[in-house]
Amino acid sequence: MGTMLQAQDLTLDDFQGLEGCNEILNVTRPDAIGAVHDAYFEVGVDCVETNTFGANWSNLSDYDIDDRITELAEAGARIARERADHWSTVDKPRWVLGSMGPGTKLPSLGHTTYQNLKDTFGLQAKGLVQGGADAILVETSQDLLQAKAAVNGSRAAMAELGVRVPVFVSVTVETTGTMLMGSEIGAALTTLQALDVDAVGLNCATGPQEMSEHLRHLAKHSQMPVTCMPNAGLPVLGKDGASYPLQPAEMAAAHAQFAREFGLGLVGGCCGTTPEHLRQIVEAVGGQAVEPRSPSVRTAWPASTRTSTSRRTPRSSRSANAPTRTAPRRSARRCSRASGTSACRSPAPRPVRARTCSTCASTTWGGTASPTSARSSPGSRAPPRSPSSSIPRSRTSSRRAWSSSVAAPSSTR
């Protein structure tokens, strides 16, 4: 839409003094907007997008006309609806996609709140549905939180109107391999599938070559139809501004390959694409059946892959001979010698190791005090404990940290 509008001889009066606000043309120059739709319908496309990409709060507030969101969205949808009905036939109906762009203020960057975006996207969706859009296309999504606000705002508007139209979401992946906020395509797909949208895809930012691997991921994992609307290549800056180098035949060939390999359900073009680009795309893929896909289904982690120690096997399912986890070692205690009794009473772990009380410097062997110094050499051994020398353990010990210890003989129990 923008490429075609820039080619027309529009004046500042056509924009009501709001230069660059293409959405105002929906009320000042509906003939110019209708002519763009006609140019694309004439080459055989099935659907067109409304001139409402920027009919949202963040864009229109820059011109101080954000109170006209619903008005401009509805006007844009009515123009497209009228032209679609004009070109429709019994054998080839034509459709209208209500375009919803991301705007210039993103919630993940703190520019605005999720609730504000949801409410204002709802106003835009309300105008699109009232104007006759067959589906809502949330496109050029750079922030998953912004996409969520647009989807939920659209559904709230549809609930208010008592109608239901499909909602498609198309994200933009930069040449860096991620969305603007850093999300990669797998995270985007997971988020959008949870929102239960009707189709997911890619558009803008790059040409078809840079989109191929991201489309491959969507084709492999998406349970929803997959869409693709690339730019006519990466933009090239020149003295007359940005231009797009990809020729119509090259884009048509790319779409033919994508449709064959990835089972795309909706194809088209974004920045830099002209009616000639779309004419050759229609010739390449128009009327073909969508190639079947077999997307993988992600389930819960299988038990065999669980490695976290927090996921313990139920006791009832353990083997009788399977080793059991020993109880954690009790907190170190101060021995009763420090309290005036004759031996350290703190329980010793198994296998029995020499433990030294940090207060009285006595060393114990399984609960019996030994005259061995706390600084005994690692090779020193205490005499084996006889059952008759055992002294009942006391429960009156206070907490204290143990010092370092030496290993007890393996035969000691």
Q: Cite the annotated binding site for Zn(2+) by residue number.
A: 204, 270-271
Residue with structure tokens 């062997």? 365
The whole-angstrom separation of Cα 196 and Cα 191 is 9
- Residue closest to 92 by CA, chosen among 133, 137, 44, 48: 44
What stretch of H or E contains 262? helix 248-262
- Report the residue count for the chain: 413
Annotated binding site, which residues?
204, 270-271
Q: In what order do the strands lie in the sheet with 266-267?
A: 47-49, 95-100, 135-141, 167-171, 199-203, 226-229, 266-267
Do residues 400 and 359 touch, judged by C-beta distance below 8 A?
Answer: yes
**How is residue 172 written in tokens?**
């933009």
Q: Calculate the dihedral angle through the C-alpha atoms of 225, 209, 221, 261, rounding to the nearest 10 degrees.
A: 70
How many other CB atoms are there within 10 angstroms of residue 325's CB atom? Answer: 7
| Beta strands 241-243; 236-238: pairing state | antiparallel
Q: What angle do CA 58, 29, 123 make, to 5 degrees?
A: 30
- For 122-138, b where at least 16 C-beta lie within 10 A, e where not — what string? bbbbbbbbbbbbbbbbb
The whole-angstrom separation of Cα 331 and Cα 185 is 49
Backbone angles phi and psi of 137, in degrees to 5: -115, 105
The whole-angstrom separation of Cα 371 and Cα 364 is 9
The whole-angstrom separation of Cα 399 and Cα 92 is 85
R_g of the chain computed on alpha carbons: 36
Backbone angles phi and psi of 237, in degrees to 5: -85, 130
The whole-angstrom separation of Cα 32 and Cα 360 is 96
